Structure 1
Amino acid sequence: MAEYETIRGTATTGVRTAAIDEGLRAHMNKVYGTMSVGMLITAAAAWAIAGLAVTSDPSATGIMLRDGEYLTGLGQALYASPLRWVVMLAPLAFIFFGWNRILERASSGTAQVAFYAFAAMIGISFSSIFLVYTDFSIVQTFLVTAIAFAGLSIWGYTTKRDISGIGSFLIMGVIGLIVAMVINLFLQSPAMMFAISGIGVLLFAALTAYDTQNIKTMYVAHAQAMDQDWLDKSAIHGALALYLDFINMFQFLLYFMGNQE
């Protein structure tokens, strides 16, 4: 009888483990899928705004970008007026002051719309890269970032090593990096920007692995409750975390790999 109970308990545990594994795969697919849609929105917004910001008509604003190309009224507003500070700082305000409130008070559907709106906001702020760097170098940097991101995320998902202990150090590193970037907006030091970019690549590479493992750990810890609203919000929050890792790694790599027009 005891042997039967042991066999039944083992079988039940096996079924439960298989269900969690299947649910985890579906959860991660939703995380990566939501992140991918956000990336597409960012790319489309950046490309569209960059196209609307430049014209060959010198009478538009009279502000020359380069030979034969001038800023339009939209381009002047986004890149040559005080509005540029709003465009640069609005995403930071959203992350630090808006996102947690949305997760706490809004539905998962509203949170997903907010994430996509944030992705469009990032696209607007990133549109200037099309005016500075060649299209080829942007695509090249994107592909390198995608390969690095995929490898780091897979490692974070599959590794048996617990890397949760580095989380607090990485968060402190991000805060320090943001402060350094804000300071360098005024200093405009190439040496400081070089150091910021190098540290940024390493920092967000580590965060990619850390965030992937954290998404997996959080799902396994809460899978028994099967709170669908929580799971949906958790997937969106995970998508945002990985999206930020990718975007920032791309931005810092572009400093090294981008060829200017």
Structure 2
Amino acid sequence: MDYKDYGNTLEPSFQKNAIAKQQATFISKVYMWMSLALFISGFTAYFTANSPGLLSLMFGTTGPTFLYYALILGELGLVFALSGAIHKMTLGLASAVFLFYSFLNGMTLAMIFLAYTFSSIATTFFITAGTFAIMSLYGYFTKTDLTKFGRILFMALLGVLLAIVVNIFLNNSMLDLIISVVGVLIFMGLIAYDTQTLKNIGSQINSEDGESYSKIAIQGALSLYLDFINLFLFLLRFLGSRR
């Protein structure tokens, strides 16, 4: 084999390694943002749950107050803003909106400390973290194209949301259990799907454009953050010990 042939043999391998490194760097940045948001939400939820004044403002004595529902609406607005208009924001604004969203979500999540014991919340969190890690690793390393499952998972999620609304009126414990199990399976699938999607994005974007690169990483972190939180909440529905 002459030097020309030797060089041609190494070039694809070199390109493959460069792409793999680019993907790993991008995913690491996504995980960093997601982990920071989870820490803020967890700390805020615990602090709020142990602040009688805040709890009174949010839940009162008869149930959720206007403030609680205002926070929920505020969260939805921030999610839509990050999902649809993040590229029109500066990096500083996008970062602030994402972290503020995780703070608001932490406040609303404080209600789980009122409904479940601390030990069952902690246990469920670690189970969620382990499940997330397994499914994210699967999504990152699998050779199977998960694109085709995206629409199926989205449609299944819509079905679960509809079932939750219906069960508010039916209050059927068996249906609630089924919803919880299906919800867990859906978000396990979404974790793998979103991870693979982000890995593919990581091989296509230009890391030299620092601002756009970071904003896309924040957007990806939001997707995985939502997957984690929803998986945790669905697991808590049948693993948590109620007070």
Q: Which structure: larger Rg?
A: 1
Q: Where do residues 235-254 of structure 1 align in structure 2 (5 Å cutoff)?
A: 235-254=217-236
Q: Where do residues 110-189 of structure 1 align in structure 2 (5 Å cutoff)?
A: 110-189=93-172
Question: Which residue number corresponds to residue 15 of structure 1?
Answer: 14
Percent identity, please.
34
SS at match of 2:182: helix
Which one-letter code corresponds to 2:108 in the other structure?
Answer: S
Question: Which residue number corresponds to residue 83 of structure 2?
Answer: 100
**8 Å Cα contact 1:115-1:236 kept in structure 2:** yes
Deviations 1:139-162 (A, max 9, x none): 000011111111111111111111
List alignment gaps of at least 5 residues for structure 2: none
What is the deviation of 1:229? 2.9
Q: Distance in 2 between matches of 1:198 and 1:107?
A: 40
Q: Distance in 2 between matches of 1:230 and 1:78?
A: 46
Q: Distance in 1 between matches of 2:220 and 2:62?
A: 30
**8 Å Cα contact 1:153-1:208 kept in structure 2:** yes
Question: Which residue number corresponds to residue 75 of structure 2?
Answer: 91
List alignment gaps of at least 5 residues for structure 1: 56-70
- Give the structure, 1 or 2, with the largest relative contact order (CA under 8 Å, sep 6 or more): 2
Q: Are residue 193 (structure 1) and residue 143 (structure 2) matched?
A: no
Q: Distance in 2 between matches of 1:78 and 1:212?
A: 41
Q: Distance in 2 between matches of 1:78 and 1:104?
A: 42
Which one-letter code corresponds to 1:81 in the other structure?
Answer: T
Q: Distance in 2 between matches of 1:7 and 1:108?
A: 44
SS at match of 2:160: helix
**8 Å Cα contact 1:24-1:220 kept in structure 2:** yes
Q: Where do residues 5-44 of structure 1 align in structure 2 (5 Å cutoff)?
A: 5-44=4-43
Q: How many residues align?
A: 243
Q: CA RMSD in A?
A: 2.5
Q: Distance in 2 between matches of 1:255 and 1:123?
A: 18
**8 Å Cα contact 1:53-1:76 kept in structure 2:** no
User: Quick one: which of 199, 203, 213 aligns to 1:231?
Assistant: 213
What is the deviation of 1:253? 0.5
What is the deviation of 1:8? 2.9
Q: Are residue 72 (structure 1) and residue 56 (structure 2) matched?
A: yes
Relative to structure 1, the CA distance from residue 169 to residue 74 in structure 2 (aligned partners, 3 Å threshold; closer, same or farther) is closer
